[in-house]
Structure 1
């Protein structure tokens, strides 16, 4: 009886709010066919051998065993991705929040101008060309030229061809590009906070800006904080363009290889090992999902 009553209530709510469901339907269909369905298909294909020319054949756990036991390049790519994510994810998240908090203190056109300046790198189509010029391995590269002019080095450094420098360079460029959607989300969230909350907090004993940030600002921005965390996690784990454009594929001793570049290597080009590529994608999906769950629990404690 209880299940029937719940079903009746659900049916009544759907009927009552059918207009909203109709409005959500186009987005839901797009999300289902271009996000949910491909993820499910990838998980299924990860248990097969599939070259796009023949019908998939069942492989069991073969792709995953090969991935973790026989594929040394994948282990390098996994290590690089984890290092990249652990450094750029939290750091870019904090930078987005910090810069948004500072810029929000300005008013009017100045705030809009500063927002544009910080957001511009993330939408610059030729951003990689700028860094290729700066990090050029000859004496005409801007960085080498300055260091040689200041007598800090005496011969050009191959920044993008020396495995010692590839990962630090990729991390630096990612941080420069990281003030994107999450940054704008924090700006918007800060502007929606009711100012009366700060007045009430002052009456309750909050006496400085850091206490305001922890006890008022962050709790009021939990939805934006969660969304920004998802964006930053996705960007840090799914890095590929930076490595491909700056370090090449393959990079020197795979120093710039990531899970996504490894996936692209097997899923396109001349390999087309779609079953194996799907196994790589599934591992990446599980890794990102687990990290998101951990971050959600952590953000749930903010302001408590």
Structure 2
């Protein structure tokens, strides 16, 4: 045991520290209140956004996390089940593991590729004369405005399994194959077909953000680069353009990579639901199965929490890749 005198000395030494922290906290609170009051008009305009964000984002996420620990079928009160939903999800639900593998495969391929394609085509369009940029921007951007279900009608004709399918007819005409390929029935081809369609529709908001980012770069930087020895467009892109577009790159990465985890409607329209041997099943479709068809909201909430963790992790990875060390 410590001597009583030593205990008192320690208490005397810690008390000023606690008091100083309390005073500092009160001062920071007062400064915060003064800052808010100073810009009260700005915070007043932001208030509706905060209300909507809390009601439609924070509250649903918290509710979903809470329901994931219960059995809830909408008709009866929720019953607490603890970790049983997560245990069933990762230990006994083989279909969920299949959907998770398909989703990760799709995200790891489509996310980076769609990001690179959006940046590449935006860079190409930025090189052409101004009078033609609007036309090419519209041509590349329009497919992303059309719903995936509507566009799959066109792609179903292209990837039809019989000899009348455009792709099969083309390949058979030039002798690449002898009989029609079963694009939408072969379990090894379903996911590549979904990836191709998704990439074709991926030039959306990130594509426009990159186009806008190119316009914000100071042209004097390119002149300075030529003085420093930059001679090619590739060197300009690597040493000037990309470092100057970090905010747009971050925004595009979050949209492309995080958005790739939410694939579902295209897979349902192309491969059906359920798809052959669940080759096109994704986490979103598995979630819809339990939430919309079976009304097992507790289990569906557990699936949504896992998906939320995946999307949040992908978002944080994008922040670490495209933000400077000082911003982290």
Q: Of 280, 296, 300, which aligns to 2:319?
A: 296
C-alpha deviation, 1:161, in angstroms:
1.3
Q: 1:211 to 1:164 in 2, by over 3 A?
A: same
The 3-state SS of whatever aligns with 2:127 is coil
Name segments (4+ residues, structure 1) moved above 4 Å: none
1:241 aligns with 2:265: yes
The 3-state SS of whatever aligns with 1:104 is helix
> Whole-Å Cα distance in 1 between the matches of residues 45 and 74 of structure 2?
37
**TM-score between both structures, scaled by the size of structure 2:** 0.88
Aligned to 2:78: 56
* Aligned residues of 2:111 and 2:260 also touching (Cα < 8 A): yes
Aligned length: 301
Aligned to 1:135: 159
The 3-state SS of whatever aligns with 1:60 is coil
C-alpha deviation, 1:301, in angstroms:
5.2
The 3-state SS of whatever aligns with 1:268 is helix
The aligned runs of 1:173-192 (5 Å cut-off) are: 173-192=197-216
Q: Of 282, 296, 299, which aligns to 1:273?
A: 296
Coordinate RMSD, CA, aligned: 1.5
Larger Rg: 2
Which deviations, in whole Å up to 9, do the C-alpha atoms of 1:29-59 show, x marking residues without a partner?
Answer: 2222112211111111111111011111111
> Whole-Å Cα distance in 2 between the matches of residues 143 and 48 of structure 1?
49
Decide which moves more: 172-181 or 30-39: 30-39
Decide which moves more: 22-31 or 186-195: 22-31
Q: Of 102, 109, 122, which aligns to 2:124?
A: 102
1:254 aligns with 2:256: no
Q: 1:98 to 1:301 in 2, by over 3 A?
A: farther
The aligned runs of 1:1-304 (5 Å cut-off) are: 1-125=23-147, 126-269=150-293, 271-300=294-323
Decide which moves more: 5-14 or 25-34: 25-34
C-alpha deviation, 1:199, in angstroms:
2.4
C-alpha deviation, 1:28, in angstroms:
2.0
**TM-score between both structures, scaled by the size of structure 1:** 0.95
C-alpha deviation, 1:207, in angstroms:
3.5
> Whole-Å Cα distance in 2 between the matches of residues 141 and 31 of structure 1?
46
The 3-state SS of whatever aligns with 1:159 is coil
| Uncovered stretches (5+) of structure 2, i.e. residues with no partner | 1-22
| Uncovered stretches (5+) of structure 1, i.e. residues with no partner | none
C-alpha deviation, 1:3, in angstroms:
1.5
> Whole-Å Cα distance in 2 between the matches of residues 5 and 245 of structure 1?
59
